[in-house]
Structure 1
Amino acid sequence: MSKPMTKTQLIAALAEELGADKKTAGTALEAVTAIITREVSAGGAVTLPGVGKIYCRERPERMVRNPQTGEQMKKDADKVVKMTIAKALKDSVNG
């Protein structure tokens, strides 16, 4: 398995794909990230065509175990960010 692409590498690849400079590509990436963050934190969802859907899901209050002591304790309800991968991406990976 290869290493994950870094932000710098992603910006460079985006700039090359767009035919733009790295500063413009970096600004575009930051804008997309800000839009996704704002929408998901407000309880909405964002669909990236061909990639997947990013959304927020609420988890109920539950009992968890402290791995160090084995003690059971109650964890309050919280929210988690989830992503469902698009079928097109799954199919291209599984080839």
Structure 2
Amino acid sequence: MSQTSYPRWSPAELVAELREAAEEIAPELNGIKAEETLEGESAQMIEEMAEALKRIASGAPRPQEIARTALAAQTPRLPIGRPQTGVRKAVKPRR
């Protein structure tokens, strides 16, 4: 029996799937925000590392510093999901 090989997911696809999973599980975790779950942290880490690699690949100066910064994972957590306030609706662009 032959094994079917599936194409790999892009970083953007992985991030989207992880964020969706984080939003699904967070309500069950009593006060833990989606971005604080393993899935949410993983999504942000993949996104940050992919961005760092893009910068390095495009010839950005000091590639080792870019890599160190990405690996340190010291940036603030970015929120996942819809905002809890109506602010987003207030600044929605006109069509």
If the length of structure 2 is used for normalisation, what is the TM-score? 0.26
Structure with more of its chain in strand, by fraction: 1
Structure with larger RCO (C-alpha < 8 A, sep 6+): 2
If the length of structure 1 is used for normalisation, what is the TM-score? 0.26
Structure with more of its chain in helix, by fraction: 2
